[in-house]
Structure 1
């Protein structure tokens, strides 16, 4: 029985808890992608670098607060800076829409044209972030590091395996849950949210009903700024910030949105966790768990790892290809918001 409990703790420590935190981060990112697709009707390839920009803005504000002696106690100071980072990112996205996307929208450009335009915006944003904050790793997490550490867990339980629950993991799960609840409340209960859903369902009918399309577009970009910045900051606190990492995150985020059903917010959340746990399960070295579960003479000598962690993004790509081939509408049928 003790060996079984040790196996459960090891599995939780290295698979379940990290997978849940990573899934929440991907889900928030995928929600931004699916909102743009459902309402503005194009795939925004600049979304990863929007996350990077929002995180960079939050980091700079965090440094400013720390320089004048402001902190958040045992919580990361970045949580205080997050609303300001969201506001700065919102202004950037509104400015980008007014300067670039609105022209093509008025010209009734094909979605593929907007996709190409978003790729150009992506490169500009990526270069801007690298120019301002650099290309190296930035660790901006302060406050308490652990809710419970491995040594304390071992002392409490007497098990050989120690469970370490990092504060950033708990913050990620709680913040993501609050953000998702607020988003669904806004879309379903407020007049503006209902206007956005109507615009997504039938643009022409929404216009005939007196809905202001520019207001819908502006609110969409502001929500996307909030989701992207929150996802980026949570990912940066959980790991560390590096501009190019967010460019790479675009693949698992799009995979999550498409696997769940592009244009479906519930699908984006489900897709985020599917992609996250797939990456973690396939790249995890199972020896540590199997040693507790298997007889001593059958214990594995190797790592029992299907793929190296260097190939975790290949897992996202493979799942994306499989879904596009066999169920292109996603696990949840892709539909409007």
Structure 2
């Protein structure tokens, strides 16, 4: 029985808790992608770098607060700086829409034109972020690091494996739940949320109903920027901030949105956790886990790892290809790509 408990604690440490935190981060990112696709009808390939831009703005404000001695106690100071980062990212999103996307919208260009334009915006944002903050890792987390420490858990439980819960993981889950509740309340209860849904379902009918398309577009970009910044900051607090990493995150975020059903917010959330747990379980080394469950003579000598962590994004790519081939509408029957 003790060996089973040790195995469960080990699995929670390296698969369950990291998978939940990473899944919440991907879900928030996928919500931004699916919102843009549902309302503005194109795949925004600049979303990953919009996450990086919003996170960079939050980091700079965090450093400014820290230099003035402002902190948030046991919580990261970045949470105080987050509203400023969201505002700066929203301004950048509206500027990019006015400078690039609005031109093609007036021309009623094909969706592929918007996709190509978003690739250009992606490289511009990537260059801006690298120019301002640099290409290297930037750590900005402060406050209390752990809620549950492994040694304290070992002393309390008497097990050989200790459970560790980082504060950033708990913050990620709490913030993600609050943001999802607020977003669904906005989309289903407010006048603007209903206008966005109507515009997404039928643009011409929405215009005949008196809905202002310019306002819908503006609010959509603001919400997408907020979701991107929150997801990026939570990811940066949990791991670290590096601009190229956010460029790479575009693949699992799009995979999450498509697996769940792009254009479907519930699907984006489900897809985020599907992709996250797929990556974590496939790249986890099960040697110690199996060592607790199997007899000593059957315990494995190797790592029992299906893929190295260096190839975790390949898991997202494989899942994405399989879904596009066999169920292009996703798990929750979103729009066809």
TM-score by length of 2: 0.99
Paired residue secondary structure (1:103): helix
Displacement after TM superposition at 1:262 (Å): 0.6
In the alignment, is residue 320 of structure 1 matched against residue 320 of structure 2? Answer: yes
Q: Map of 1:182-193 to 2, 5 A cutoff?
A: 182-193=182-193
The gaps in structure 1 that reach 5 residues or longer are: none
CA deviation digits over 1:124-164, x for unaligned, max 9?
00000000000000010000000011000001100000000
Q: Which residue of 2 aligns with 1:163?
A: 163
Displacement after TM superposition at 1:288 (Å): 1.2
In the alignment, is residue 251 of structure 1 matched against residue 272 of structure 2? Answer: no
CA deviation digits over 1:140-191, x for unaligned, max 9?
0000000011000001100000000000000000000001000000000000
Paired residue secondary structure (2:75): coil
Paired residue secondary structure (1:104): helix
Q: Which residue of 1 aligns with 2:86?
A: 86
CA deviation digits over 1:28-64, x for unaligned, max 9?
0000000000000000000000000000000000001
Q: Which residue of 2 aligns with 1:48?
A: 48
Distance 1:295 1:99 in 2: 65
Distance 1:335 1:250 in 2: 19
Displacement after TM superposition at 1:268 (Å): 0.3
Q: Which residue of 2 aligns with 1:63?
A: 63
Paired residue secondary structure (2:184): helix
Aligned residues: 336
TM-score by length of 1: 0.99
Distance 2:111 2:203 in 1: 15
Would you identify which runs of 4 or more consecutive aligned residues in structure 1 move more than 3 Å? none
Distance 1:7 1:106 in 2: 59
Displacement after TM superposition at 1:14 (Å): 0.2
Q: Which residue of 2 aligns with 1:331?
A: 331
Q: Which residue of 1 aligns with 2:30?
A: 30
Q: Which residue of 2 aligns with 1:218?
A: 218
Paired residue secondary structure (2:147): strand
In the alignment, is residue 302 of structure 1 matched against residue 315 of structure 2? Answer: no
In the alignment, is residue 115 of structure 1 matched against residue 115 of structure 2? Answer: yes
Displacement after TM superposition at 1:242 (Å): 0.2
Distance 1:110 1:316 in 2: 27
Distance 1:137 1:302 in 2: 31
Paired residue secondary structure (2:15): helix
Distance 1:222 1:288 in 2: 46
CA deviation digits over 1:223-249, x for unaligned, max 9?
001100000000000000000000000
Q: Which residue of 2 aligns with 1:293?
A: 293
Q: Map of 1:90-105 to 2, 5 A cutoff?
A: 90-105=90-105
Displacement after TM superposition at 1:99 (Å): 1.2
Displacement after TM superposition at 1:207 (Å): 0.2
Q: Which residue of 1 aligns with 2:205?
A: 205
Displacement after TM superposition at 1:258 (Å): 0.3
Q: Which residue of 1 aligns with 2:275?
A: 275
Distance 1:10 1:282 in 2: 16
Distance 1:111 1:210 in 2: 25
Paired residue secondary structure (2:87): helix
In the alignment, is residue 177 of structure 1 matched against residue 180 of structure 2? Answer: no
Distance 2:307 2:91 in 1: 41
Displacement after TM superposition at 1:335 (Å): 4.2
Distance 1:292 1:176 in 2: 34
Distance 1:53 1:120 in 2: 15
Q: Which residue of 1 aligns with 2:152?
A: 152
